[in-house]
Structures are given as C-alpha cells and as structure tokens.
Amino acid sequence: MKTYDPLVFLAVFHEMLGPLLWVLPLLALATVVGFVWVWRRDGRIVSRRMVQSELLGLLGGAVALVIMAAVSSSGFTDAAGPADWFLILIVYGVGFVATTLLAYTVMGWLSRPARRPA
C-alpha cells in the first residue's frame, strides 16, 4: 500500500461491522453528549457513580474483545507479535472507556442531581 486512502479503511470496517459501523459512532456521540450534560448538571464528577461505572467498564472491555473476535477472521490464539497484543489492549481500553462513560451517563440520568458543595 503505497498511498493512504481513508476510503479503503471505511470499506474494510464496513465489511467487518456492517450496520454497526454507523450505529457505534452515533452511540458514542450520544454517550459523550449525555456524559457532558450529566457532568454540567451535577457540577462535578460524582465519585461513587464513577467507581461503579468503572467496575462495569471492566466488563465492557471484555465484551469489546468478544465483539472483536466475532467480527474478525482471527482469534486470540492468532496474536503473534507485539502489534497484535497492542491492538488487543487498545480494543479493551476503548471498550472500557466507552462502557464507563455510558454507565455513568445512564446512572446520572436515573438518579437525582448531586448536591453541589457549599
């Protein structure tokens, strides 16, 4: 590959993910907007809610790895070099962060606004 063409990456991701290619970015955007809204409403990050969200994020990272294995033609036993393991760590990290933000946002919507310190 001598030239960089972003449309090639789009085509590959579309082949791998199908309709999820469009659903996941929209869900990510909605999650970030919701997180910022909850954060601004509360005026701070609520630590108890964040810790609970991080615990759910551990599961979300694992689910991201399962999805990665399902949509790709290779499994975890095919990971041979450092680049493969680095990609696996990136996928886990993205799943962790995304699930943490989504869980914090949902918990924030379902709870009363936190009291602001005086």
pLDDT in tens, 84-106: 788 889 999 999 999 999 999 99
- Type of residue at 94: V
What pLDDT does 101 receive? 96
* Cβ neighbours of 87 (radius 10 Å): 12
Q: Is residue 20 within 8 Å of residue 94, measured between CB atoms?
A: no
Q: Could you report the per-residue pLDDT of 28-54, keeping only the tens digit for each?
A: 999 999 999 999 999 999 999 999 999
Return the structure tokens found at 94: 């993205």
Distance CA 59, CA 36 (A): 23
What pLDDT does 70 receive? 83
Return the structure tokens found at 88: 């696996």
Distance CA 75, CA 94 (A): 18
Tokens 């579309």 identify what position?
14
What pLDDT does 5 receive? 81
Averaged over 47-70, what is the pLDDT? 93
Q: What is the mean pLDDT of the chain?
A: 87
What pLDDT does 113 receive? 67
